[in-house]
Amino acid sequence: MKFLFIFINLCIGYQVYALRNTNFSTVWTNFTQDLQLSHATYSITILDNSTGNIIFSFNKDVGLAPASTLKTVTGAAALHYLGKDYRYKTLLEYSGNINPFGILNGYIYIVGSGDPSLGSWRWNETMGKVIMQRWVNLIAGKGIKHCRGIVLDLSVWPDQTQTIPAGYTWGDLGNYYGAGSSALNWRENQFRLILSPGLAVGDPVILVYIDHPPPSVIFINELITGPPGSGDRTNLYLAPDGTYGYLRGSLGIDSSKNISIGGAIPNSALFIADELRQGMGWSNATSIKIIYRKDINSTNRTTLDIYQSPPMSEIIYWFEQSSINMYGEVLVRTIAQMINSSINSILPVYCETEHGIEQTEVAVMDGSGLSPENRITTWAIARVLYNVQQRSPWFPLYEHALPTTNGIRMKGGYIHNALSYAGYVNHQVFSIITNNFNGQTITMRQKIWDLLDTLK
Ligand SMILES: *[C@@H]1O[C@H](CO)[C@@H](O)[C@H](O)[C@H]1NC(C)=O
Ligand SMILES: *[C@@H]1O[C@H](CO)[C@@H](O)[C@H](O)[C@H]1NC(C)=O
Ligand SMILES: *[C@@H]1O[C@H](CO)[C@@H](O)[C@H](O)[C@H]1NC(C)=O
Ligand SMILES: *[C@@H]1O[C@H](CO)[C@@H](O)[C@H](O)[C@H]1NC(C)=O
Ligand SMILES: *[C@@H]1O[C@H](CO)[C@@H](O)[C@H](O)[C@H]1NC(C)=O
Ligand SMILES: *[C@@H]1O[C@H](CO)[C@@H](O)[C@H](O)[C@H]1NC(C)=O
Ligand SMILES: *[C@@H]1O[C@H](CO)[C@@H](O)[C@H](O)[C@H]1NC(C)=O
Ligand SMILES: *[C@@H]1O[C@H](CO)[C@@H](O)[C@H](O)[C@H]1NC(C)=O
Ligand SMILES: *[C@@H]1O[C@H](CO)[C@@H](O)[C@H](O)[C@H]1NC(C)=O
């Protein structure tokens, strides 16, 4: 009886899948015949939301560049290893003693923990001006008027000040979305440049002003006013820890005045120290030092503040919603430190140990998806999405963090000639990646949305 029941169930199940299968394979075939995909590689995996069975797949075992859909895996790994309540702690401390005239014979220390949200505009309590005012008040409240200098303690991640994944491209590094991460991040390691087109095509573009400019960077503006309709083709080239920022490309003559483009802060530790210095009204001759190891002299520091970030659940929300690459790099780094593993092995290890996915399916260079060299299969992404939905207590938070795009709960990804989506629709879990399509991104995107509409 029991066997018969299962048998019938299987048959019904089979029919349902078979129907969906036939339908979807028709639209899929039509999709792949589109000329924009003539020289492309593409893959799709669609799983049944309640059984995990494959409803449809194509090239499911082929590793492709996932762009930002990799963030679905990074976000899941962060909630798994760090937990939804994890908070970063940034310390404000001082060394030495304060004399009756308000002179501290020591230093002010800011001790980083990697908090990616420190100074971010996305929460009221993390905003740069809010945190800075709090710290200025605490220092002034202690009666400190002068000190020997400001020390940035980056010893929690003792290497470079600004770390960039090896897979990011030179064209990305200077732009806001290519910002590196540090033990001390500030204002999401971004700043804004305000530009206006010139009066005639070929004229220089005017750099109107810079909002919160990175300290000690010299900007070289080589931007040219482009023809009508040519739009914003500007790019900032600025290396981590770099001194020269090159503005190159063009801005259409019919672009609005004072458009704003985002740049990456080349040294976020100096960025925060400079703002504290200004907030205290200290001269630009104030000594600012970065330390990479806990120095033996620093054992006797007095704590002024233990500033805590919003919880991981909220960090993950903005990470997925706004696709903030720097958050992804910080997350894999934080996990790497917690489980004592190398940064690039975090996602493969997570996929293998938690989801039974072979590590070779997940060859990644970062936690954001920005590196064009990243490779992962749609089969791996779909299984992570399926498993967390089946068994992770934090799934509601995770699902809520994913954007709703085209009426579907899904994360999108875009890097040069690569578009991808991964999410949940109508009792199905899906992951689709296209690499090396040609033509306009906007038309390609519409074609993928039309394809996904058939799953609704
Ligand atoms: C799928 O197949 C069913 C049954 O043959 C049909 O009614 C339906 O219109 C098809 N849907 C699509 C999107 O082709
Ligand atoms: C086939 O694909 C084209 C886009 O390449 C689309 O316009 C058309 O609606 C699709 N046809 C079907 C039956 O899905
Ligand atoms: C954030 O600040 C704005 C403006 O001050 C206020 O309207 C809003 O309610 C605040 N949000 C939270 C969550 O406190
Ligand atoms: C552009 O910004 C400058 C500097 O803030 C300001 O003086 C000017 O009025 C702005 N122009 C427009 C069109 O907004
Ligand atoms: C420091 O400030 C003085 C006076 O405000 C200015 O002349 C000098 O160029 C500044 N130096 C640096 C390194 O910014
Ligand atoms: C530590 O203290 C010793 C002795 O006071 C001093 O010589 C040395 O320069 C200090 N080191 C640092 C990094 O401040
Ligand atoms: C540590 O600091 C306190 C006051 O901040 C001071 O009284 C004490 O002597 C210091 N100890 C050492 C070993 O420097
Ligand atoms: C971390 O891993 C390294 C290399 O595998 C090992 O040498 C070290 O002892 C480990 N540290 C901890 C705290 O487990
Ligand atoms: C997944 O399937 C379950 C039923 O098995 C359903 O309750 C849930 O809403 C589905 N989730 C999504 C995101 O479609």
Q: Are strands 218-221 and 244-252 parallel, antiparallel or unpaired?
A: parallel
Give the number of the atom of ligand 9 that is nearest the alpha carbon of residue 409.
13
CA angle, 82 then 404 then 381, to 5°: 50
Kindly give the distance from the C-alpha atom of residue 427 to the centroid of ligand 9, in angstroms, as a whole number: 5
Kindly give the distance from the C-alpha atom of residue 283 to the centroid of ligand 5, in angstroms, as a whole number: 8
Q: Whose CA is nearest to atom 7 of ligand 2?
A: 447
Element (H, E) at 395: helix 395-401
pLDDT in single tens digits along all 456 residues of the chain? 344 444 444 444 444 444 455 689 999 999 999 999 999 999 999 999 999 999 999 999 999 999 999 999 999 999 999 999 999 999 999 999 999 999 999 999 999 999 999 999 999 999 999 999 999 999 999 999 999 999 999 999 876 678 899 999 999 999 999 999 999 999 999 999 999 999 999 999 999 999 999 998 999 999 999 999 999 999 999 999 999 999 999 999 999 999 999 999 999 999 999 999 999 999 989 999 999 887 666 668 999 999 999 999 999 999 999 999 999 999 999 999 999 999 999 999 999 999 999 999 999 999 999 999 999 999 999 999 999 999 999 999 999 999 999 999 999 999 999 999 999 999 999 999 999 999 999 999 999 999 999 999
Kindly give the distance from the C-alpha atom of residue 44 to the centroid of ligand 8, in angstroms, as a whole number: 38
Ordered DSSP codes for 266-304: S-HHHHHHHHHHHHHT--TTSEEEEESS--GGGGSEEEE
Three-class SS state of 339: helix
Task: Encode pLDDT of 120-167 as tens digits.
Answer: 999 999 999 999 999 999 999 999 999 999 999 999 987 667 889 999
> Tokens for 99?
């004399």
Q: Per 3-state DSSP, what percentage of the chain is helix, strand, and coil (rounded to 5)?
A: 35, 25, 35
Ligand closest to CA 447: 2
Report residues whose beta carbon is within 6 angstroms of any ligand 1 atom. Answer: 19, 23, 454
31-84+312-453 topology per CATH: Beta-lactamase (3.40.710)
Task: Encode pLDDT of 205-224 as tens digits.
Answer: 999 999 999 998 999 999 99
d(CA 357, CA 193): 43
Domain ranges in the chain? 31-84+312-453, 89-308
Give the number of the atom of ligand 2 that is nearest the alpha carbon of residue 36.
5
Q: For residues 21, 24, 25 and 28, what is the CA-based torsion angle, rounded to 10 degrees? A: -160
Kindly give the distance from the C-alpha atom of residue 258 to the centroid of ligand 4, in angstroms, as a whole number: 6
Pocket test for ligand 7, best of 97, 99, 107, 142 (most atoms within 8 A of CB): 97
